[in-house]
Amino acid sequence: MTENTAATASILLLEDSVIDAELISEQIDRVEPRPTLTIATGRQAFVDALSNGRYDLVLSDFSLPDFDGMAALDVVVAQAPETPFIFVSGVLGEDAAIDAFRRGATDYVLKQRLNRLPSAVERALAEANERSRRRHAEQQREILVRELSHRVKNNMAVMLSLVRRTARVAKTVEDFERSLSARVTALADGHALLFENNWNETALLDVLTRAAASFDDLEKRIVVEMSPNVRISPRIALSLSMAFHELIANAAKFGALSSQHGRVDVDWTLEPREGDAPLLHFTWVEKGGPAITAPGQGGLGSRLIRSLIEYELEGRAMMDFGRDGLRCVLSFPLTEGLRPQ
């Protein structure tokens, strides 16, 4: 059944009488919007029509020379159980009608009162559409619940990993509390951004901007060069939000952003690959900060970045601790809905 009541409905009519078929067709023409009508005059034509097409409603006579209306109902219930079925007959008695309802019929209209047919058809189509809408909503809810459960488990695993890793390198309880709080906040900020986008694709620039926003006035010293507008999937956005947090935190503590005149230049490029997803290369270049060496930033932050990019995103994190500051290139495939715009 189509989910749009304004769409043209498709009706299959089982009727062997040419005259009755014409009378029924005239009544169907009164339905708004006007449905398309396919007429089958016997068993084989009816079965073939059901096998070769998809119908929003089935109308059937009760008694035919080579077929029985109840048998037609059984075929529809077996092949298309969600399709409404209306008997249009001149011989349907009360007992037969009750039996028909028990076996899955939606309604019945006597041929002596065909003026009832348009309203019966409209009601059956509307009810079927509502059932379809509810069924679709229930399926979406089930999908969301499963996805939420999966994300909660993943987030708990990330949280436990952050706690353990932060505890290993923390020198004091205060240092542990401060570092862990900042990382949990970064994870929460990433989730907040995704919720704002209804867990759809998110702009890479927005992920970087949100990560930088928690560092007070440092955001304006992170300069984004002209780069393609790329939207990324929720899973990758969460990984990048954590990686960006570590880059900014390290720069604020050890690198260019620890100096009053330091800055960071950021850009990203796309590398097309034939037969495979393109690669995104994210470049982070610190300038104007103090001279640094690898041990100065070779702690938890660097290890987290490598883990997030190399294991979560199946990419590569290259870090060059030069005299002029850190140069970091994060490369990963544009998978799971990532796409340039």
Q: Pick from 106-110, 166-170, 185-189 the range whose average pLDDT is largest.
A: 106-110
pLDDT tens for 312-340 read 889 999 998 877 788 999 999 987 544 44
pLDDT-based confidence at residue 118 (cuts at 50, 70, 90): very high
User: 61-69: long-range contacts at Cβ-Cβ below 8 A with a sequence spacing of 24 or more?
Assistant: 61/14, 61/15, 61/16, 61/17, 61/20, 61/87, 61/88, 61/89, 62/87, 62/89, 62/91, 62/92, 62/96, 63/89, 63/91, 64/14, 64/16, 65/16, 66/42, 67/14, 67/42, 67/43, 69/14, 69/100
Q: Which helix (H) or strand (E) holds 73?
A: helix 69-79
Specify the pLDDT at position 296: 46
CB atoms < 10 A from the CB of 236, how many?
A: 25
Percentage of the chain lying above the pLDDT 90 cut: 35
Residue 39 has pLDDT above 90, yes or no: yes
Residue 182 has pLDDT above 80, yes or no: no
Residue 264 CA to residue 289 CA, distance in Å, equals 9
Specify the pLDDT at position 299: 66
What would you measure as the largest C-alpha separation in the chain, in angstroms?
Answer: 96
Strands in 181-294 per DSSP E: 202-203, 222-224, 230-232, 263-273, 276-287
Specify the pLDDT at position 337: 46
What does pLDDT average to over the chain? 84
Judge contact between 283 and 268, C-beta under 8 A.
Answer: yes
Q: How many Å separate Cα 42 from the centre of its chain? A: 44
pLDDT-based confidence at residue 1 (cuts at 50, 70, 90): very low
Which position has the higher pLDDT, 100 or 330? 330
Q: Using the structure block, give the residue that is written with the tokens 């715009």.
A: 341
Q: Pick from 171-175, 176-180, 267-271 the range whose average pLDDT is largest.
A: 267-271
Percentage of the chain lying above the pLDDT 70 cut: 89
Angle between helix 18-28 and 117-169 (nearest 10): 60
pLDDT tens for 123-156 read 999 998 888 888 888 887 787 677 667 766 766 7
Specify the pLDDT at position 139: 85
Residue 78 CA to residue 108 CA, distance in Å, equals 20
Specify the pLDDT at position 20: 93
Q: Pick from 18-32, 92-106, 149-163 the range whose average pLDDT is largest.
A: 18-32
pLDDT tens for 193-228 read 777 777 778 899 999 999 998 887 788 899 998 888
- Judged by DSSP in three states, 109 sits in strand
pLDDT-based confidence at residue 3 (cuts at 50, 70, 90): very low
Specify the pLDDT at position 294: 63
Specify the pLDDT at position 336: 56
Specify the pLDDT at position 329: 96
Judge contact between 23 and 114, C-beta under 8 A.
Answer: yes
Specify the pLDDT at position 333: 92
DSSP per-residue string spanning 246-260: HHHHHHHHTSGGGST
Judge contact between 184 and 163, C-beta under 8 A.
Answer: no
Residue 179 has pLDDT above 80, yes or no: no
Judge contact between 310 and 316, C-beta under 8 A.
Answer: yes
What is the Cα gyration radius of the chain?
33
Specify the pLDDT at position 92: 67
